[in-house]
Amino acid sequence: MELQFLGTSSGTPSRARNVSGLALHAPGSKHWYLVDCGEGTQHRILRTNYSPMSLRAIFITHIHGDHCYGLPGLLASAGLLNRSEPLLIAGPPAVERFVRGVMESTELRLPYAVEFAHVAPGWAISSLPDFRVEVAELSHRVPSFAFTFVEKSIERRLDIGKLERDGIASGPGWGQLQRGEDIALPDCRVARSADYLLPGRRPRKLIVAGDNDTPSLLAAQAQDAHVLVHEATYTEDVLQKVGPGSQHSSARATAAFAEEAGIPNLVLTHFSPRYQPAGNGSPSMADIEAEARAAYQGSLFLASDLQRYTLDRHGVLAAVPLPNAS
Amino acid sequence: MELQFLGTSSGTPSRARNVSGLALHAPGSKHWYLVDCGEGTQHRILRTNYSPMSLRAIFITHIHGDHCYGLPGLLASAGLLNRSEPLLIAGPPAVERFVRGVMESTELRLPYAVEFAHVAPGWAISSLPDFRVEVAELSHRVPSFAFTFVEKSIERRLDIGKLERDGIASGPGWGQLQRGEDIALPDCRVARSADYLLPGRRPRKLIVAGDNDTPSLLAAQAQDAHVLVHEATYTEDVLQKVGPGSQHSSARATAAFAEEAGIPNLVLTHFSPRYQPAGNGSPSMADIEAEARAAYQGSLFLASDLQRYTLDRHGVLAAVPLPNAS
């Protein structure tokens, strides 16, 4: 599984960071998925290997502009590329109102269908090719959600020793058993697939959260999750100054929750533009990192734009070296 | 007067060119003006000396997304900067519907007033500090306009020889005469300002046109214009293939009009992303340039993103060398 950040800034873009966007891709899939789509997301996509043509679905965590103002332009560009496949947009109902309103007021006509799913507590979707997706409701100034992506296609492995012990000869029948089909044996016995499949590995599970001032709302989703992507808009001291009305999380609060929930990989994002690159002034990204490290013992990452991460089958998250700054 | 292009691509951004946006600035003014605001315009502004705080007015030529989808994000970012000055947005009525609709559906609240002016044939505005602005109606798939910017503050110069011949001694009275005030002389004569001002130079006049398939619609505006900024979306051969339904102009058509109208400076922009940088494949920007040069004898420029131009008091347009590619 691959994650690539398209934007990691809160509220407004900076020269180094765009507003929110995250690309997801399952190994071998011809599709990819987008979580949030701030203004300029399509510009970032131009700097990746992804295309608006193969985008299968867009998930919008909440209706604030830094998470959705890139939608109309991305839809329009996919139309100019002559996309014909339907595109799913899942998010709070306001997202459909926003997109349909813009399409109408700006006379945007698309050569493909846009399908909307209204996200609410308990919503889930199992019909996408690569992931089962669930939501958890968060706490922010507007309805905000986390999307949990659970990998769908776990390799099935046959118990070869048992097959041999039971005298089932190798051949096309093994393939059928592996695909989940029962087979009739030459001696009229029936071999049931379920009896010869080894227990599957745990599916990879990734949580991508929208803006949220209460990370513990993710406690149920966090069980068995391999990765949490969550905002850390401020350090604790700045959050105290800004006040609770912003309804954002500090690096400390997010990290403390991930520690308590036992999530092995934590990726922080959605940083206030006031945080400078480390060594470039104060407050800095180093402050965010130090605060999070003090509260969290797992693998910690601070996302940056265009950074790619791979999550392997063992649940290990690793940053992919960037070829060049672009 | 300074022009700086923020985007020069048609329809969709490329890696090198953003969609439409053009910054205008009058010498010494603390304000600046924006014509069109495609998605990502605020990102381009981050790479200029301009700020959303000092932006006085935005002019939108037409409602297509590549000319206006950057508005909501720019308005939001000015709000996050705590802008308090009102901001004027002038454009076809659909622009107000678009912006108000987005503000409502995405719960965007601003700490400053946005004032809308509905542009229609004959519309003009004289109350802005730096320019008188007029419009001309163009021909495109939706209502589209050109904005003509006529410089307001022409230096007044005194006829010193005549003042001396008439025995009017230098002193504070000269300043009053220069400011347009009549003065009483010690000998009870009255000196009238109008009698001692030299004829003013011609105000600088710049036309920035929206999408348009009929450049000759600008014939009246073109009289005495120093600069025309106009689309040249395609070369003539590509336009023939695309067909007239796109309602765009070829480089040849735009250049031929500027030649016939006697406009001394022509800046082409809004290029289809199919045109590659010269030497990088076909069709190329060199094709656009060659076609325009064959039809136009004046000063020809092909705009690129972040390129600045100065228009001096003599009506000479010059490109400002770029410090560095960004």
The answer, for A129 touching chain B at a CB cutoff of 8 Å, is no
B126-142 tens-digit pLDDT: 999 999 999 999 999 99
A67-82 tens-digit pLDDT: 999 999 999 999 999 9
Please, what sign has the CA dihedral across residues A107, B248, B40, B126?
negative
Least confident of A191-195, A198-202, B188-192: A198-202
Residue B70's closest chain A neighbor by CA? Answer: A39
Whether A255 has a pLDDT exceeding 60, the answer reads yes
In this prediction, residue A324 carries a pLDDT of 62
Report all structural domains of chain A as residue ranges with CATH numbers, in order of start: 2-154+201-320 (3.60.15.10), 160-196 (no CATH)
For the segment A250-261, the average pLDDT, to the nearest whole number, is 98
Least confident of A17-26, A304-313, B230-239, B270-279: B270-279
Q: Answer whether B39 sits within 8 Å of A72, measured CB to CB.
A: yes
Whether A27 has a pLDDT exceeding 60, the answer reads yes
A105-156 tens-digit pLDDT: 999 999 999 999 999 999 999 999 999 999 999 999 999 999 999 999 888 8
Q: Answer whether B102 sits within 8 Å of A106, measured CB to CB.
A: no
For the segment B84-97, the average pLDDT, to the nearest whole number, is 98
B138-173 tens-digit pLDDT: 999 999 999 999 999 888 889 999 999 999 989 999
Residue A12's closest chain B neighbor by CA? Answer: B77
Whether A279 has a pLDDT exceeding 90, the answer reads no
The answer, for B65 touching chain A at a CB cutoff of 8 Å, is yes
List the single residue in B15, B39, B66 with the smallest CB-CB distance to A40: B39
Could you tell me where the DSSP H helices lie in B106-250? Answer: 160-165, 172-178, 193-196, 219-222, 236-242
B66 is catalytic: yes
Task: Report how far residue B239's alpha carbon sits from residue A92's, in angstroms, rounded to the nearest whole number.
Answer: 42
Q: Band the pLDDT of B324: cuts 50, 70, 90.
A: low
pLDDT averaged over chain B? Answer: 95
Are B11 and B44 within 8 A, CB to CB? no
Output helix, strand, coil percentages for chain B, rounded to the nearest 5. 25, 25, 45
Taking alpha carbons only, the member of A11, A29, A28, A30 closest to residue A20 is A11
Least confident of A16-20, A90-94, A165-169, A228-232: A165-169
Crossing angle of helices A93-105 and A71-80, in 10° steps, is 60
Whether B24 has a pLDDT exceeding 80, the answer reads yes
In this prediction, residue B200 carries a pLDDT of 84
In this prediction, residue B326 carries a pLDDT of 47
Higher-confidence residue of B119 and B187: namely B119
A36-52 tens-digit pLDDT: 999 999 999 999 999 99
In this prediction, residue A201 carries a pLDDT of 87
Cis peptide preceding A86, ω within 30 of 0: no
